[in-house]
Amino acid sequence: MDNPVLPQGVTADSISLLLGHPDPATLATPQFQAAVQHVMASPQAALAYGDEPGHPALMEYLVDRINREQQLALQRENLMIVAGSTHAVDMIARLYTQPGGAVIVESPSYADSLHVFRDHGVALHSVAMDQGGVMIEAFEKLLKQLAEKDNLPSLYYTIPNFHNPTGISTSLERRLEIIRLSQEYGFTIVEDDVYRDLAFDTAVPPSFYTLANGKNVIQIGSFSKTLAPGLRLGWVIASAESIHRFVFCGTTQMGGGASPLAAQIVAEYCQRGHWDGHLEHLRRGYRLRRDTMLTALGQYMSPEVSWTTPSGGFFVWVTLPGEMQGSVVKAETLKRGVMLAAGEGYFINPDDGKHNIRLTYSFAPLSDIKTAVRILGEVIAG
């Protein structure tokens, strides 16, 4: 018998709290499979190159939906389909930065985005966060220091809703202050908003794009967390000038559109009205997983351990007691079959995260979440 193919970062006979995978049971629903069959009934059209900006029907659906939900007046010229958020971050870094140029990120930030920026040779600078997002006084101090060195940032990269890795959402007040700084210092805000549709408790604040009326903001969205990561499908909204730049860059012109087969399938699925109901199902399921993890943390952790309480998304960020190191905890829990992420990789300076770990509640079954947190508590307790 063939061995089953496991998702990225998952091993047999383990409990994975490691990566931001969606719940496997939510993939390939009957409605999605029906959309696949409908599109593949015309295989020559389905398997051809696509339009460079993206599949027109999906673009139209997304423009209408984003306008309705974010109180915007986008045109199709403000949107482009991309092959997931990583494609978008890489394209933005390639076109909006230069080697040695400054880019500001949150501290901590998404490890893979840090990797992409490093690939482009930029000078990364970070701003520490609290429960409201990045701290504005420290942000402004950094900008003044960079101005004195004549190296103001071209970009500020942020995950404003249910942040990866902390689960924190940036407050409305902080968003307005960051927009003020963007307009004063001339940098573009890259709003990586892939968790926006996974709010459990309260509505998310208005987006940076809405608050700034699109000025100096590029927003990224994705179907990876809310439909299926294997689709490799997302979108970017920005000014018409920025979208034109993306569409006419070399890789887009050579590529025949991002993931045209996946885009046709998702367009069919969404136009049939299935995505909204699917999102409601996801929110209920992930809320229950989050609550299970938070309850288990309260039950099994010592008083010296602290953690965030996300109101959506996939992640809980844990601060370990004293001098305990996340890499050591990761190694010890792995010996007992539990996979989790140490904090070092989410920082420009890895030592800043050596006393943290990230836990993901989206993938593991409920019973496994409780078991994994119990094992984690035993490892921390020694």
The secondary element (H helix, E strand) that includes residue 90 is helix 85-96
pLDDT score of 9: 66
Average pLDDT value for the chain: 95
Place of tokens 């593991």: 364
In a domain, residue 171? The reply is yes
So what's the pLDDT on residue 251? 80
The verdict on residue 58 lying in a domain is yes
Are 134 and 227 part of one and the same domain? yes
Domain contains 33? no
One domain, residues 294 and 218: no
321 alpha-carbon distance from chain centroid:
28
Domain that holds residue 281: 15-27+276-381
Q: Are residues 239 and 295 in the same domain?
A: no
- Do 223 and 338 lie in a common domain? no
Out of 273, 308, 337, pick the residue that ends a domain.
273
Q: What is the pLDDT of residues 186-240, one digit of tens each?
A: 999 999 999 999 999 989 999 999 999 999 999 999 999 999 999 999 999 999 9
* In a shared domain, residues 229 and 377: no
Q: Is there a single domain that holds both residue 259 and residue 289?
A: no
Based on the domain organization, do 61 and 138 belong to the same domain?
yes
Same domain, residue pair 207 and 331: no
Given this model, what pLDDT does residue 227 score?
Answer: 95
Check which CATH number belongs to the domain holding 366 and give it: 3.90.1150.10
Which of 273, 301, 318 terminates a domain? The answer is 273
Task: Give a three-class secondary structure readout of the chain.
Answer: CCCCCCCCCCCCCCEECCCCCCCHHHCCCHHHHHHHHHHHCCHHHHCCCCCCCCCHHHHHHHHHHHHHHHCCCCCHHHEEEECCHHHHHHHHHHHHCCCCCEEEEEECCCHHHHHHHHHCCCEEEEEEEECCEECHHHHHHHHHHHHHCCCCCCEEEECCCCCCCCCCCCCHHHHHHHHHHHHHHCCEEEEECCCCCCECCCCCCCCHHHHCCCCCEEEEEECCCCCCHHHCCEEEECCHHHHHHHHCCHHHHHHCCCCHHHHHHHHHHHHCCHHHHHHHHHHHHHHHHHHHHHHHHHHHCCCCCEECCCCECCEEEEECCCCCCHHHHHHHHHHCCEECEEHHHHCCCHHHHCCEEEEECCCCCHHHHHHHHHHHHHHHHC
Query: Which CATH number do you get for residue 60?
Result: 3.40.640.10
pLDDT of residue 1: 42
6 falls within a domain? no
- What's the whole-model pTM score? 0.95
pLDDT of amino acid 256: 75
The parts of the chain modelled with pLDDT lower than 50 are: 1
* Contact by Cβ (8 Å): 69, 269: no
Report how many domains make up the chain.
2
Task: Write out pLDDT tens, residues 290-323.
Answer: 999 999 999 999 999 999 999 999 999 999 999 9
Give me the sign of the Cα torsion angle 171, 234, 276, 21.
Answer: negative
